């Protein structure tokens, strides 16, 4: 009884077979079919490798929303070298809420040599080359996001030479926490002196001939410090052509949440516009000599997420490639055989054209002549 039920089940499954097998005696092979099959298998193998490469790759997805966080503090990471002695310059932040943050809250003044060593010059040259490529090809920013915490540090390497030259510049580095509103970080002559209406810098004891605001921005970023991320002003170097010169940077900061397979961090991106001018009150160019970075916080927040193709989507695309190539090559092969048969049939018909045979009464006959015994031989 069980064998009978099993036999019925097998017969039922055979009737439901959507892929009937053709007996080998009914299968005809040809050289053209083998050639097309070889081309099809080669194409499938090539496209499968390419599809697997796409499957292994990832891409960045950008989502935008309103930033509702107004109470947290904004961190500013600073590493700037000014071509003046540390006792002559002062750095601080003044925001729109008239809150003053002095450099004593987190910045370090370090006497250094302004000219770079050969190794440091090579580092700066490479960094400037990367910056120029980033400005031309914005898609490279995705590569930097994906390589964060993985690539080498972008900080200025220490000097490899033991120079006996006395320090002629001041490196101001560290970080400050400021309110999440627009503000102005500046470096100018003299130390800051707060007063009820704002603040001022004690610059009376410094002569104008010693003013030199040539500077190099080794690093400037906002938010969490992430190794491997290159910011727009990193590697910037400006040489002052006049003692009374003002350098201005207008910065728009965009809060950014970065989620990759390597890290998950809250940082900030920013764009910058540069301007520099000589202070000449007689010519109507008013202001204070120094370096001024005026930043504004965007109301939008960007969430950058690294995404990967799902495995099921990879299988669907792979099946589409295999099935599509088999179908397409089968159609092309059938069409080619049809065209070839039509052409060869015409040639064969042309070799048996009707000939005119003269008759004894002067008429002609268009029928093919009958084969005689002589023609047989």
Q: What is the pLDDT of residues 316-375, one digit of tens each?
A: 988 888 888 888 888 887 787 778 777 877 666 555 555 555 555 555 555 545 444 444
Return all residues near 85 (Cβ < 8 A) that are at least 6 apart: 111, 167, 168, 169, 170
Cβ neighbour number for residue 98 with a 10 Å cutoff: 10
The residue ranges of the chain whose pLDDT is under 50 are: 368, 370-377
Strand partners, 109: 172
Q: pLDDT tens digits for 134-168? A: 777 665 566 666 665 555 556 777 887 777 788 88
Q: Give CA separation, 228 vs 47, 237, 305, in Å.
A: 34, 20, 17
Alpha-carbon span 42 to 48, nearest angstrom = 10
Alpha-carbon span 204 to 289, nearest angstrom = 13
pLDDT of 83 reads: 92
Strand partners, 216: 81, 237
Q: Is the dihedral of CA 333, 334, 340, 341 positive or negative?
A: positive
pLDDT of 78 reads: 93
pLDDT of 80 reads: 94
| Measured CA angle at 114 (ends 108, 117), to 5 deg | 110
* Structure tokens given for 224: 């969490």
Find out whether 293 and 55 touch, Cβ atoms under 8 Å. no
pLDDT of 296 reads: 92
Which residue, chain included where needed, has tokens 């268009």? Answer: 366
Alpha-carbon span 154 to 221, nearest angstrom = 12
Helix, strand, coil shares, percent, the chain, to 5: 35, 35, 35
pLDDT of 289 reads: 87
Which parts of 139-285 are beta strand (E)?
Answer: 169-179, 183-189, 191-195, 198-202, 215-223, 236-238, 245-259, 264-278
Scored b (16 or more CB within 10 A) or e, 40-75 reads: beeebeebeeebeeebeeeebeeeeeeeeeeeeebb
């Amino acid at each position: 009884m069980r064998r009978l039920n099993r036999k019925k089940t097998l017969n039922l499954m055979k009737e439901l077979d959507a892929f009937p097998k053709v007996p080998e005696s009914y299968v005809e092979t040809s050289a053209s079919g083998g050639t097309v099959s070889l081309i099809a298998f080669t194409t499938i193998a090539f496209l499968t490798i390419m599809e697997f490469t796409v499957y292994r790759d990832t891409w960045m997805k950008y989502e935008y929303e309103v930033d509702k966080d107004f109470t947290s503090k904004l961190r500013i990471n600073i590493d700037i070298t000014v071509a003046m002695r540390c006792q002559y310059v002062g750095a601080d932040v003044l925001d729109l809420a008239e809150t003053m943050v002095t450099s004593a809250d987190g910045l370090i003044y370090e006497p250094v040599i302004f000219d770079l060593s050969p190794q440091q010059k090579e580092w700066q040259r490479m960094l400037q080359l990367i910056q120029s490529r980033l400005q031309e090809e914005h898609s490279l920013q995705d590569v930097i996001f994906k390589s964060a915490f993985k690539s080498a540090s972008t900080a200025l390497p220490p000097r490899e030479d033991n120079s006996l030259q006395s320090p002629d510049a001041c490196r101001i580095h560290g970080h400050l926490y400021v309110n999440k509103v627009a503000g102005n970080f500046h470096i100018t002559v003299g130390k800051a002196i707060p007063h009820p209406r704002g603040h001022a810098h004690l610059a009376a004891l410094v002569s104008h001939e010693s003013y030199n605001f040539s500077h190099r921005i080794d690093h400037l970023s906002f938010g969490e410090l992430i190794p491997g991320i290159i910011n727009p002003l990193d590697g910037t170097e400006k040489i002052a052509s006049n003692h009374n010169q003002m350098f201005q940077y207008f910065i728009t900061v965009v809060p950014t949440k970065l989620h990759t397979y390597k890290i998950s961090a809250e940082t900030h991106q920013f764009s910058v516009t540069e301007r520099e001018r000589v202070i000449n009150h007689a010519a109507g160019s008013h202001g204070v000599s120094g370096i001024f970075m005026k930043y504004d916080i965007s109301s939008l927040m960007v969430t950058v997420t690294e995404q990967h193709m799902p495995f099921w989507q990879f299988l669907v695309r792979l099946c589409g490639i295999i099935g599509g190539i088999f179908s397409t090559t089968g159609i092309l092969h059938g069409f080619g055989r049809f065209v070839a048969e039509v052409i060869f049939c015409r040639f064969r018909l042309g070799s048996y054209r009707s000939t005119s045979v003269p008759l004894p009464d002067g008429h002609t006959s268009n029928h093919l002549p009958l084969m005689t015994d002589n023609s047989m031989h």
